[in-house]
């Protein structure tokens, strides 16, 4: 074989071998990150990888003359440089809170549980129409700031005469962080009870959306907390307990997931440090309390674009190309680690079905046509809560039912207001408890 052919073949072989060595060291690094739970901001895994690479390079070049012995160190240097990018923060590690909103004052309340939460108050537009019971809003997330889109809906409810209070659950938005071990679904329920006590206005109506709906469902199953509630609106709830969380089933009509344009804007997952941290956390290979990134750093780094297709899944397929901006960059706040931690405590919790069957608080369930929630999560609440007086199947909307499109906000507000005032439902009471088997069979 001519030398002109041999040399490129040898070069290609050596290059492929070097790339394989770099890839192997990257795998060692990721495995070490998982095994050490990111100890020391990933430095422990980096030193392990560097040590393994150095030992391999020394063995590889042991019979080579100088300076050829240095060649095996090139993949080690490359791997060390690449993995080092995972060990250094690119955002502040101390919590950066969103600035104040221009249209509503932010209060901070210390709750008896120890949580310090951000509170927003929308009094009724016409004081003479004030309802006898305040309306408390529990947003989804579970550890996420209240979006501007939700704030607009809360203002609409205030124009309907409701005295609206909303608070960002501990760790979300402008509320103070907790230690990671304190993020539990039971803590969220205790915070709701403590909030109503701090409000000191007697029994309250509560609107719980998504994971907030799961918190409200569990509150209804706790007689001590339920005693503080006048009426409950459970909108698009997440799983209420461990057995429900492990149910398999279908979702609603086709959502915009996979159809909508990819979200624009910066993504933390384009930065190696956060791509590794959030990716391994989602896979369950890093704990929410990982030593790789702190809770505050994770909140500071995570952006709305990181939610990817999750946002699109909250809208019907027909709305794929007109999904509204739910939030502003400055107001958006989400804690992926704390959210995963709370979700895990739901999955680990025993059944609350028997306790929920003793609920006497009048409740309403709202289900979206294009829901991204597992239908069995929603029907489990309907099947086990005898105090659910009506169900409202919301046509033409996805998981985020008050989305500012068409007349969806007005429709949702009218459904909520009618129930809280004890007036006839604007929509058919569907599905009723007896309709559940057919509702699931028809994959509605």
**For 377-396, what is the mean pLDDT?**
97
Please, which residues have CB within 8 angstroms of residue 206's CB and are 6 or more apart in sequence?
A: 135, 136, 137, 138, 192, 216, 219, 229, 231, 232, 233
pLDDT by residue (tens digit) across 332-364?
999 999 999 999 999 999 999 999 999 999 999
Please check the confidence at residue 62 and state whether its pLDDT lies above 90.
Answer: no
Comparing CA positions, the residue from 219, 87, 254, 113 lying closest to residue 176 is 113
* 45 within domain boundaries: yes
**CB atoms < 10 A from the CB of 183, how many?**
28
* 284 within domain boundaries: no
- Are 254 and 209 part of one and the same domain? yes
Please check the confidence at residue 55 and state whether its pLDDT lies above 90.
Answer: no
Please check the confidence at residue 309 and state whether its pLDDT lies above 90.
Answer: no
Query: How confident is residue 252, by pLDDT bands cut at 50, 70 and 90?
Result: very high
Mean pLDDT of the chain: 92
* 169 within domain boundaries: yes
* 234 within domain boundaries: yes
Query: How confident is residue 4, by pLDDT bands cut at 50, 70 and 90?
Result: low
* 322 within domain boundaries: yes
Share of the chain above pLDDT 90, in %: 81
DSSP 37: T
Domain count, the chain: 2
CA 223 – CA 356 distance, rounded (Å): 9
* 271 within domain boundaries: no
Cα separation values, 330 from 134, 192, 300, 380, Å: 29, 26, 11, 37
**For 358-371, what is the mean pLDDT?**
97
Q: What is the pLDDT of residue 8?
A: 62
- Are 208 and 122 part of one and the same domain? yes
- Are 121 and 155 part of one and the same domain? yes
- Are 15 and 138 part of one and the same domain? no
**For 282-306, what is the mean pLDDT?**
95
Q: What is the pLDDT of residue 3?
A: 54
- Burial tier of 2 (Cβ tally within 10 Å: 0-12, 13-18, 19+): exposed
**For 351-378, what is the mean pLDDT?**
97
**CB atoms < 10 A from the CB of 283, how many?**
9
- Which of 57-61, 236-240, 413-417 shows the lowest per-residue confidence on average (mean pLDDT)? 57-61
- Are 77 and 114 part of one and the same domain? no
- Are 36 and 178 part of one and the same domain? no
Query: How confident is residue 79, by pLDDT bands cut at 50, 70 and 90?
Result: confident
Strand partners, 209: 235
- Are 155 and 45 part of one and the same domain? no
**How many CA atoms within 13 Å lie on the side-chain side of 67?**
2
- Which of 12-21, 277-286, 315-324 shows the lowest per-residue confidence on average (mean pLDDT)? 12-21
CA 207 – CA 339 distance, rounded (Å): 20
pLDDT by residue (tens digit) across 160-187?
999 999 999 999 999 999 999 999 999 9
φ and ψ of 397, to 5 deg: -130, 155
Q: Identify the H or E element spanning 419.
A: helix 408-420
Query: How confident is residue 58, by pLDDT bands cut at 50, 70 and 90?
Result: confident
Q: What is the pLDDT of residue 73?
A: 77
Please check the confidence at residue 135 and state whether its pLDDT lies above 60.
Answer: yes
* 285 within domain boundaries: no
Please check the confidence at residue 366 and state whether its pLDDT lies above 60.
Answer: yes
Q: What is the pLDDT of residue 21?
A: 78
Please check the confidence at residue 320 and state whether its pLDDT lies above 60.
Answer: yes
Please, which residues have CB within 8 angstroms of residue 142's CB and are 6 or more apart in sequence?
A: 169, 172, 188, 211, 212, 214, 215, 238, 338, 339, 342, 343
Please check the confidence at residue 70 and state whether its pLDDT lies above 80.
Answer: no
* 278 within domain boundaries: no
- Are 136 and 11 part of one and the same domain? no
Q: What is the pLDDT of residue 23?
A: 87
- Are 77 and 179 part of one and the same domain? no
Please check the confidence at residue 10 and state whether its pLDDT lies above 80.
Answer: no
- Are 437 and 369 part of one and the same domain? yes
- Are 235 and 325 part of one and the same domain? yes
- Which of 64-73, 150-159, 202-211, 350-359 shows the lowest per-residue confidence on average (mean pLDDT)? 64-73
Residue span of the structural domain in which 40 resides: 3-84
CATH of the domain at 168: 3.40.50.1820
Share of the chain above pLDDT 70, in %: 94
CA 203 – CA 362 distance, rounded (Å): 13
- Are 171 and 115 part of one and the same domain? yes
CA-CA-CA-CA dihedral for 52, 53, 57, 58, to nearest 10: -40
Q: What is the pLDDT of residue 130?
A: 67
Please, which residues have CB within 8 angstroms of residue 397's CB and are 6 or more apart in sequence?
A: 315, 316, 368, 369, 370, 403, 408, 411, 412
Comparing CA positions, the residue from 258, 246, 218, 253 lying closest to residue 399 is 253
pTM: 0.93
């Amino acid at each position: 074989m001519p030398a002109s052919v041999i040399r490129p073949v040898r070069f290609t072989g050596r290059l492929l071998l070097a790339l394989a060595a770099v890839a192997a060291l990257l795998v060692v690094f990721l495995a070490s990150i998982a095994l050490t739970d990111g100890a020391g901001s990933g430095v422990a895994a980096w030193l392990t990888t560097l040590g393994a690479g150095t030992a391999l390079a020394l063995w590889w070049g042991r019979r080579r003359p100088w300076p050829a012995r240095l060649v095996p160190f090139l993949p080690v240097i490359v791997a060390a440089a690449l993995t080092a990018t995972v060990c250094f923060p690119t955002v502040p590690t101390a919590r950066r809170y969103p600035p104040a909103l221009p249209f509503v004052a932010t209060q901070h309340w210390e709750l008896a549980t120890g949580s310090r939460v951000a509170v927003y108050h929308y009094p009724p537009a016409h004081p003479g129409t004030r309802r006898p019971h305040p309306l408390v809003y529990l947003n989804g997330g579970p550890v996420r700031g209240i979006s501007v889109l939700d704030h607009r809906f809360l203002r609409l409810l205030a124009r309907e005469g409701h005295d609206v209070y909303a608070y960002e659950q501990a760790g979300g938005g402008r509320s103070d962080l907790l230690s990671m071990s304190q993020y539990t679904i039971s803590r969220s329920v205790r915070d709701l009870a403590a909030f109503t006590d701090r409000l000191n206005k007697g029994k309250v109506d509560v609107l719980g959306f998504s994971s907030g709906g799961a918190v409200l469902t569990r509150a209804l199953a706790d007689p001590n907390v339920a005693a503080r509630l006048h009426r409950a609106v459970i909108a698009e709830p997440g799983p209420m307990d461990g057995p429900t969380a492990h149910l398999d089933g279908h979702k609603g009509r086709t959502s915009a997931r996979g159809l909508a344009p990819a979200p624009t804007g910066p993504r933390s997952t384009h930065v190696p440090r956060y791509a590794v941290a959030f990716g391994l956390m989602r896979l369950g290979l890093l704990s929410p309390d990982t030593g790789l990134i702190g809770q505050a750093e994770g909140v500071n780094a995570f952006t709305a674009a990181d939610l990817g297709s999750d946002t699109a899944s909250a809208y019907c397929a027909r709305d794929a190309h007109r999904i509204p901006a739910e939030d502003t960059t400055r107001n958006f706040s989400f804690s992926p680690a704390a959210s995963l931690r709370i979700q895990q405590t739901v999955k680990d919790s025993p059944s609350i079905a028997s306790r929920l069957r003793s609920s006497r608080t009048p409740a309403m369930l709202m289900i979206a046509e294009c829901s991204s929630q597992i239908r069995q999560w929603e029907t489990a609440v309907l099947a086990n809560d005898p105090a659910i007086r009506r169900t409202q199947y919301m046509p033409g909307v996805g998981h985020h039912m008050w989305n500012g499109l068409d007349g969806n906000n007005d429709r949702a507000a009218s459904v909520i207001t009618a129930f809280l005032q004890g007036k006839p439902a604007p929509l058919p009471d569907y599905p009723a408890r007896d309709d559940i088997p057919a509702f699931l069979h028809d994959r509605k």
